[in-house]
Amino acid sequence: MIGIVNYGMGNLRSVQKALQRVGAQAEVIDSPGQIASAKRLILPGVGAFADGMEHLRERGMAEPLKQFADSGKPMLGICLGMQLLFDSSMEDAPSADEPVLGLGILPGKVVRFQEDQGPDKPRLKVPHMGWNEVTFAPDTPLFVGLTPGDHVYFVHGYYCVPDEASDAAATTDYGSTYCSAVHRGNVWATQFHPEKSQRVGLQILENFANAELVHA
């Protein structure tokens, strides 16, 4: 069973329906006690980083999520769910020296796109919204069956910067090249929305449901 974590900030039904389309059994998890029983786990999310962390803490889900990540079972973050896996974010931070703390499952930070790209360059539209090309790391089990030039759907104003460049599983160009998917051990995450990315997204979710991801 694939558990989809409900902490009040995700497209739960869209993710569940997409998984069902590829033949996967998926259930929405509403309580922290259900997290450990999932065989695979998805942390979705739409909205602000600080709100997401507050919701997770209020529902008692932060520690069970860390424990699941430590269990070795496959885990997938989507959009805000990817960002929450990291150490900290500058979204809604009181100052540059006081970032909002995340789950700390992945080492790194979350920063904002800068509209001003410098002299003689067009201003960047923030948030980054719509379809964009993704460059996938080679021989990555989550992305089996995809081809160069494939596009996926994004909606975000912030992006993740892993401490370790090797954690980047995919990159995207938007103003500059940034990390749009990560992989560390049994933990995977995408900044884009697989459930909104049609054929490409369904292939990714099918891979997550069926592929050997723990020791990838």
Catalytic residues: 79, 193, 195
Q: Which amino acid is at 77?
A: G
Evaluated on CA atoms 173, 174, 177, 183, the torsion sign reads negative
Nearest CA among 66, 56, 34 for reference residue 186: 66
Nearest CA among 15, 12, 5, 28 for reference residue 201: 15
Residue 102 β-bridge partners = none
Residue 188 β-bridge partners = 76, 183
* Phi, psi (degrees; rounded to nearest 5) at 19: -65, -40
* Phi, psi (degrees; rounded to nearest 5) at 137: -65, 145
